[in-house]
Amino acid sequence: MSKKSGQMMSDAMGYAQRFGRIPQAELDKILVDPEFMAWSQEKLKVISSDQIKAQGEARIFGQLFIDYYRERKTQD
């Protein structure tokens, strides 16, 4: 992972912690979850590049962490 993408992912996880109140340990699990990778790729297909530029990559990915965490929690 490049330094820039590493920083973006760190910012995204910070966003998810702050606004989604997701514990760091849960974020660490999500980050290496192959299901999250596939799920997030599907979600990113419907987000326009203009929206990503306007909101910022870190915020978009942070929201994906939150959405995935909440969706997974409701399934448990």
Q: Which residues contact 28 (CB under 8 A, 6 or more apart)?
A: none
Provide the domain count of the chain. Answer: 1
Structural domain for 38, as ranges: 3-75
Residues lower than pLDDT 50 in the chain: none
Task: Specify the long-range contacts of residues 1-10, CB closer than 8 Å, at least 24 apart.
Answer: 8/57, 8/58, 8/61, 9/58, 9/61
Q: What pLDDT score does 28 carry?
A: 94
Q: What backbone torsions phi and psi does residue 23 show, to the nearest 5 degrees?
A: -65, 150
- Which pLDDT value is given to residue 5? 85
Instruction: Please tell me the predicted confidence (pLDDT) of residue 59.
Output: 95
- Give the pTM: 0.88
